[in-house]
Amino acid sequence: MISGVGWSRIGRRLHCDPLELAADACLAAIHDAGITADDIDGVSTYPGRLGSTPGITGAGVDDIRSLLGLELSWHTGGLELAGQLGSVVNAVLAVGAGLAHHVLCFRSVWESTAQDLATGGRAELMASSAHEAVQWGRPYGAGYATYGGLALQRYLHESGATRAQLAQIAVVTRANAAHNPIAVYREPITVQDYLDARMISDPLCLYDCDIPVDGCIAVIVSKSGSTADAGKAVRIEALGSASGWQSSADMMWARTDLTPSDVDVAEVYDGFSIYAVHWLEALRLVPRYETGAFVESGRRIALDGELPLNTGGGQLSAGRLHGYGPLLEACVQLRGEAGARQVPSRPEVAVVTSGAELFTSCLLLSR
């Protein structure tokens, strides 16, 4: 189960020490779970310390171990996981295997400040990345947005959906963000704003892209029934760790008696809005190639709609915390603590996804 959640300040160009943000979030999650740092015997994070793009990691396992004075019986941090929430999948395995009782999982970023400090902005940071997936696109000037643009172009071609239809994903989740105090962008936008927005990688526009931020979100994975505050516990009903949107979703559904029609709230990875489309369809929440028509009015994915989507604003409006944003929001919704953005028919089942393409995982949560 997830026994506690915590978050630091989350914002644009905070220019503060990323270790501070990471420690804040971790301590908040420990406090929320009703335990102390002495109870934490496992740590799991994505991607941990590595020679990657500056800003992509605000803190690694060793940083948090030293900062909080943890005595660990198990830990892991790495890039080659089942999506960013593969770090939570690993924690579930460690707890299940009895290697740890309470695993602190966190995602810490300071991309916004790193981009601000780099004179050449995002492009300069990309050039310094040693990530293998990036190297093949580099001679052609490809960046991450290129892959979003290619995915969106192909989807529009295959499905017959229009940009005006899919615009609702950005518009509705921005409306949700208005009620989320930790979302970075809370001003409403309209479908017309979306259509007028500048192109980043045509047909992918500004509002299709998530927002680099500074901040940290942490959750505690514990053995069921092992913490004082059972009222806060969120049950991990099933998970999918297979590689690929469809395989990951299919694996998750094969491991539970629940079905897509049981999902009360969907918190899906929206690094680009087209990734949310792929997740909705892979999870069988929306029939294949029908997301355009499904989201067109905006009503069905609104807070009071049949499938509330990214109720905290998603990464498009709340910021790129790499799957931990959706996870936090799902826990808050299931606990009924989402305030003005609380889904009115108190949700009992939430689905959370992370990653894209072959770097994927999903979690089915219940209260």
Nearest C-alpha neighbor of 366 from the set 245, 239, 277: 239
- Using a 10 angstrom Cβ sphere, with 0-12 exposed, 13-18 middle and 19 or more buried, the burial of residue 12 is middle
CA angle, 22 then 25 then 26, to 5°:
85
| 26: contact with other proteins by CB under 8 A | no
* Sequence-distant (≥ 6) Cβ neighbours of residue 6 within 8 angstroms: 24, 25, 26, 27, 28, 29, 30, 31, 32, 217, 218, 219
How many Å apart are CA 151 and CA 264, to the nearest integer?
Answer: 27
| 141: contact with other proteins by CB under 8 A | yes
Residues 230-249 that bind other proteins (CB under 8 A): none
Report the nearest approach of other proteins to the CB of residue 353 (Å): 22
Report the nearest approach of other proteins to the CB of residue 156 (Å): 9
| 160: contact with other proteins by CB under 8 A | no
Residue number with CB closer to other proteins (157 or 257): 157
DSSP character at residue 261: G
| 124: contact with other proteins by CB under 8 A | yes
Q: Interface with other proteins by CB under 8 A: which range of 101-109, 142-150, 175-183, 276-284? A: 142-150
Residue number with CB closer to other proteins (145 or 184): 145
| 129: contact with other proteins by CB under 8 A | no
Q: How far is CA 305 from CA 122, 207, 295, 301, in A?
A: 37, 22, 10, 5
How many Å apart are CA 5 and CA 329, to the nearest integer?
Answer: 10
Report the nearest approach of other proteins to the CB of residue 201 (Å): 5
| 151: contact with other proteins by CB under 8 A | yes
Residue number with CB closer to other proteins (62 or 124): 124
Report the nearest approach of other proteins to the CB of residue 121 (Å): 8
Contacting other proteins (CB under 8 A), which of 16, 72, 142, 197? Answer: 142
Token pair recorded at residue 242: 């297979």
Token pair recorded at residue 118: 């780099």
Sort strands 349-356 and 265-267 into parallel, antiparallel or unpaired: parallel
DSSP character at residue 124: H
Q: Interface with other proteins by CB under 8 A: which range of 41-49, 69-77, 150-158, 343-351? A: 150-158
Token pair recorded at residue 341: 């953005």
| 290: contact with other proteins by CB under 8 A | no
Residue number with CB closer to other proteins (195 or 228): 195
Residue number with CB closer to other proteins (100 or 274): 274
Q: How far is CA 237 from CA 1, 63, 350, 365, in A?
A: 9, 31, 10, 5
Q: Which residues in 113-163 belong to E strands, given as ranges?
A: none
| 123: contact with other proteins by CB under 8 A | yes
| 212: contact with other proteins by CB under 8 A | no
| 154: contact with other proteins by CB under 8 A | yes
Residue number with CB closer to other proteins (154 or 288): 154
Mark residues 333-352: x for contact with other proteins by CB under 8 A, - for none: --------------------
Residue number with CB closer to other proteins (69 or 157): 157
Report which secondary-structure segment, H or E, holds 154.
Answer: helix 144-159
Q: Interface with other proteins by CB under 8 A: which range of 54-62, 136-144, 277-285, 318-326? A: 136-144
DSSP character at residue 182: T
Mark residues 163-202: x for contact with other proteins by CB under 8 A, - for none: -----------------------------------xxxxx
Question: In the chain, what is the greatest distance between 2 CA atoms, to the nearest angstrom?
Answer: 55
Residues of this chain that interact with other proteins (CB under 8 A) are: 120-124, 126-127, 136-143, 145-146, 149-154, 157, 198-204
